[in-house]
């Protein structure tokens, strides 16, 4: 099945030679072709170029994209979209003056979601989660990482990972699964942290490895959650079970989580709202991708990741949503890109690089996603008629997507 798309006003993020990520210095450049064509063969990008060189091929279908642009679909490398219910009441409690920390300390927060998840059937969790997945696919996400971490029991964590597996089987979007048993200490282990870590290391991880239920292992390394030492212990056990670390660090405090992640060759270190100069220095010349989550900063009114300082230091940066019921009940990558420009002073070129190729790297899919490259998956966004790609972050809140192609087909 050959599809030819013609008269594309501008084809964005074109990479003739495959790359896996772009560094800080390269992020300012977004390669494009104006007045372009794109050829798909089944679910794969088979060719592209300037309309002057459009090939004379017999296509099964032709789409005229006059006035419209095409860019690779968003790669959202950090989400928690499998959860039960919501935390609307905590949202109102925060408006009325409580902090995220105060809510967590009185048994709300992650433990509130864990309670709900353990009381909800696998089928019901699947139904709630698939609605979120469909929503983000329509918003242009073509690859998504999903974490467990609201079970905090052997059964609950396995239930979440099975839901993620079922989503991956039933939807064309690319999904990577991350085990986040170390998201918070359950109440019954408050005075016995070692006991919960033993549960993770001795029971959860071997079961997950045996059933191939996860690609990555995550830990919430933060004051009041998992210490650096505990984080290292869990990363090590994850690695022994075939999982690559990808961790939550520096959301509220800089306690050495970045350095621990680098030591264990984490694929990414995520959040990074609080960064000191040593943290930036540590990330230089490593293979670990820093990931910023600006809609979390927006929702919790906490600092934004200092993107300018990091890019100036030569570091790459990826952007993701963090879609979850507590700190970011939104999976809209378009909003993330706009917020990165508006609040973190990233240029549109930097933000698009961060949300496509660098996002793909941060979830281990840059061989197949994140750029318009021959041989990569035909996962891309066709925009409505727009004046320039600056409009994407500029007109924040306006949906400028006409259709989303996943595996070469429009996702309805």
Contact call for residues 232 and 259 (beta carbons, < 8 A)? no
Using the contact rule CB under 6 A, the part of the chain among 49-57, 170-178, 254-262, 322-330 near ligand NIG is 322-330
271 labelled ligand-binding: no
83 labelled ligand-binding: no
Phi, psi at residue 366, to the nearest 5°? -70, -10
Using the contact rule CB under 6 A, the part of the chain among 9-17, 50-58, 108-116, 381-389 near ligand NIG is 108-116
| Shortest separation between residue 218's beta carbon and ligand NIG, angstroms | 9
What is the Cα–Cα distance from 303 to 311, expressed in whole angstroms?
A: 17
Using the contact rule CB under 6 A, the part of the chain among 105-113, 127-135, 159-167, 206-214 near ligand NIG is 105-113
What is the Cα–Cα distance from 389 to 12, expressed in whole angstroms?
A: 9
- Residue 350 makes contact with ligand NIG by CB under 6 A: no
326 labelled ligand-binding: yes
- Residue 218 makes contact with Fe ion by CB under 5 A: no
Binding partner of 113, given ligand NIG, Fe ion, none, CB within 5-8 angstroms per partner class: ligand NIG
Q: Which residues pair with 217 in a beta bridge?
A: 179, 245
| Shortest separation between residue 211's beta carbon and ligand NIG, angstroms | 24
Q: Token pair 């996603």 is at which residue?
A: 369
53 labelled ligand-binding: no
Helix 154-170 × helix 110-119 angle, to 10°: 80
Q: Sign of the C-alpha dihedral, residues 117, 121, 122, 127? A: negative
- Touching Fe ion, residues 317-336 (CB under 5 A): 322
76 labelled ligand-binding: no
- Residue 248 makes contact with ligand NIG by CB under 6 A: yes
- Residue 324 makes contact with ligand NIG by CB under 6 A: yes
| Shortest separation between residue 183's beta carbon and Fe ion, angstroms | 9
Q: Token pair 């918070």 is at which residue?
A: 184
Cβ nearer to ligand NIG, comparing 94 with 377? 94
- Residue 296 makes contact with ligand NIG by CB under 6 A: yes
| Shortest separation between residue 133's beta carbon and ligand NIG, angstroms | 18
| Shortest separation between residue 292's beta carbon and ligand NIG, angstroms | 12
What is the Cα–Cα distance from 118 to 159, expressed in whole angstroms?
A: 9
Binding partner of 32, given Fe ion, ligand NIG, none, CB within 5-8 angstroms per partner class: none
Phi, psi at residue 182, to the nearest 5°? -90, 60
138 labelled ligand-binding: no
Cβ nearer to ligand NIG, comparing 182 with 307? 182
Per CB under 6 A, the list member of 326, 348, 364, 393 interacting with ligand NIG is 326
- Residue 222 makes contact with Fe ion by CB under 5 A: no
What is the Cα–Cα distance from 24 to 275, expressed in whole angstroms?
A: 17
127 labelled ligand-binding: no
Cβ nearer to ligand NIG, comparing 48 with 220? 220
Q: Please, which residues have CB within 8 angstroms of residue 264's CB and are 6 or more apart in sequence?
A: 232, 235, 236, 239, 245
Using the contact rule CB under 6 A, the part of the chain among 123-131, 159-167, 304-312, 320-328 near ligand NIG is 320-328
80 labelled ligand-binding: yes
Question: How many residues of this chain bind ligand NIG (CB under 6 A)?
Answer: 12
Using the contact rule CB under 6 A, the part of the chain among 11-19, 127-135, 323-331, 376-384 near ligand NIG is 323-331
Per CB under 6 A, the list member of 3, 241, 251, 330 interacting with ligand NIG is 251
Contact call for residues 135 and 105 (beta carbons, < 8 A)? no
| Shortest separation between residue 178's beta carbon and Fe ion, angstroms | 10
Residues binding Fe ion (CB under 5 A): 322
Binding-site entries for Zn(2+): 78, 80, 248, 322
Binding-site entries for N-formimidoyl-L-glutamate: 150, 324, 326
Binding-site entries for 4-imidazolone-5-propanoate: 87, 150, 183, 251, 327
Residues binding ligand NIG (CB under 6 A): 109-110, 113, 220, 248, 251, 296, 322, 324-327
């Amino acid at each position: 099945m050959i599809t030819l798309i013609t008269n594309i006003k501008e084809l964005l993020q074109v990479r003739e030679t495959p790359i896996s990520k772009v560094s800080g210095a390269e992020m300012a450049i977004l390669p494009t072709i104006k007045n372009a064509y794109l050829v798909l063969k089944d679910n794969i990008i088979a060719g592209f170029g300037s309309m002057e060189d459009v090939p004379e091929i017999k296509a099964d279908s032709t789409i005229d994209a006059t006035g419209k642009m095409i860019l690779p679909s968003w790669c959202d490398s950090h989400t928690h979209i499998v959860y039960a219910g919501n935390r609307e009441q905590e949202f109102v409690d925060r408006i009325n003056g409580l902090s995220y920390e105060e809510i967590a300390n009185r048994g709300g927060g992650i433990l509130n979601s864990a309670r709900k998840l353990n009381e909800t059937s696998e089928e019901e969790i699947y139904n709630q989660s698939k609605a979120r997945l469909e929503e983000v696919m329509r918003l242009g996400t073509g690859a998504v990482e999903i974490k467990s971490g609201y079970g905090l029991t052997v059964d609950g964590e396995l239930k979440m990972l099975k839901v993620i597996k079922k989503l991956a089987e039933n939807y064309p979007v690319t999904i990577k699964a991350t085990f986040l048993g170390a998201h918070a200490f359950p109440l019954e282990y408050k005075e016995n942290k070692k006991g919960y870590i033993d549960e993770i290391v001795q029971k959860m991880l071997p079961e997950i490895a045996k059933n191939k239920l996860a690609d990555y292992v995550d830990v919430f390394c933060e004051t009041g959650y998992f210490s650096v030492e505990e984080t290292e212990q869990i990363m090590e056990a994850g690695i022994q079970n075939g999982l690559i670390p990808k961790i939550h660090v520096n959301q509220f405090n800089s306690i050495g989580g970045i350095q621990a992640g680098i030591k264990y060759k984490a694929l990414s270190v995520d959040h990074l709202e609080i960064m000191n100069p040593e943290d930036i220095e540590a990330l230089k010349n490593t293979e670990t991708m820093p990931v910023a989550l600006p809609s979390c900063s927006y929702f919790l009114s906490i600092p934004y990741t200092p993107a300018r300082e990091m890019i100036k230091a030569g570091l790459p940066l990826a952007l993701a949503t963090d879609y979850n019921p507590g700190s970011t009940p939104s999976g809209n990558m378009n909003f993330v890109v706009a917020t990165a420009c508006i609040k973190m002073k990233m240029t549109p070129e930097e933000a698009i690089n961060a949300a496509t190729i660098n996002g793909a790297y941060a979830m281990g899919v840059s061989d197949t996603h994140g750029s318009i490259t021959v041989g990569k998956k035909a996962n891309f966004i066709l925009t409505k008629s727009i004046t320039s790609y600056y409009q994407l972050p500029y007109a924040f809140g306006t949906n400028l997507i006409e259709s989303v192609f996943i595996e070469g087909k429009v996702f309805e």
